[in-house]
Amino acid sequence: MPQKKFLPQILLALVLFGPLLSCQSLPKERHYTGVYHSVRPGQTLYRIAKTYDVSVVTLMRLNNISDASQIQVGRKIWIPGARTIRQVPATALKKETPAPKRFSRPVEEASLPPLKGYLIWPLKGTLTSTFGSRGNGHHDGIDIGAKRGASVVAAAEGRVVFSDWGPKGYGLMVIIKHPNHLTTVYAHNSKNWVKKNETVKQGQRIASVGTTGRSSGPHLHFEVRNHTHPKNPLKFLPARR
Ligand SMILES: [Zn+2]
């Protein structure tokens, strides 16, 4: 009987290709639990897969999708193993205009262009020393002379990340971190009025002028740093009248 000869081959073929064949046919036959997720505007296959914790490839295979970037709104995607339909976050729709860049949004790059007028002067006083090389070293900030006890204010809104005695000659100092990788430093204070982790508003008093640390008289040493790189504060401050 010739058929008998072929029977082992047919069985082998079924064992090998059976799972593949059933995958290509109706998915419900293989995955008893699952839901149909109806695609909403802005939802990508990637997001859907992530939300339901299945692979994109699985969804593509089970739903006969050849191009993952081309899934129509309203299409029902079979999600194997899911028991309930979940909320899938939508990505920004292409037709929407991109949100304008604002200072409150994080700036990714390390080199931040000077943002003239982003900061306000932290102290009313006399500019006694500018940013740049000074003697053999480098002056990482500017010095503003004023009477002892005069109010030092936050140059911009932010969070206090340091309020204590600073390193090498800074004396009593405050460091504020702003939302865009910018940090401002206020040194030689006679008193700090803010604590670490406190959020401060622009113009809020944070310290009183003093002469703590390596200082020859009451003044504020003010620094602007992008990440850790000192920048010329005058490029961020409004012009003085
Ligand atoms: Zn200084």
> Is 194 a residue whose pLDDT tops 70?
yes
Most confident of 37-41, 47-51, 63-67, 186-190: 186-190
Structural domains of the chain ordered from first start: 21-100 (3.10.350.10), 126-235 (2.70.70.10)
pLDDT tens by residue, 12-43: 554 555 444 444 444 444 446 888 899 988 88
Ligand 1 centre and the CA of 105: distance in Å?
30
**pLDDT mean over 182-191:** 97
Ligand 1 centre and the CA of 221: distance in Å?
4
pLDDT tens by residue, 91-147: 765 444 444 444 443 444 345 566 777 899 999 999 999 999 988 889 999 999 999
Q: What is the CA radius of gyration of the chain?
A: 32
Return mean pLDDT, the chain.
82
**pLDDT mean over 175-200:** 96
> Which one, of 156, 176, 155, 173, lies nearest residue 164 by Cα?
173
Supply 98's token pair: 């991109």
Ligand 1 centre and the CA of 130: distance in Å?
8
- Cβ atoms of 178 and 105 within 8 Å: the answer is no
Contacts of 130 (CB under 8 A, 6+ apart): 139, 142, 232, 234
- pLDDT of amino acid 156: 96
CA dist 80 and 72 (Å) reads 19
- pLDDT of amino acid 174: 98
- pLDDT of amino acid 241: 60
- pLDDT of amino acid 21: 42
Q: How far is CA 15 from CA 11, 18, 38, in A?
A: 6, 5, 34
Ligand 1 centre and the CA of 22: distance in Å?
75
Ligand 1 centre and the CA of 139: distance in Å?
6
Q: Is the pTM of this model over 0.75?
A: no
For residue 10, name the pLDDT band (cuts at 50, 70, 90). low
pLDDT tens by residue, 142-184: 999 999 999 999 999 999 999 999 987 999 999 999 988 899 9
DSSP secondary structure letters along 74-114: T-EEEEET--S--PPPPPPPTTSPPPPP-TTSPP-SSSPPP
Ligand 1 centre and the CA of 205: distance in Å?
20
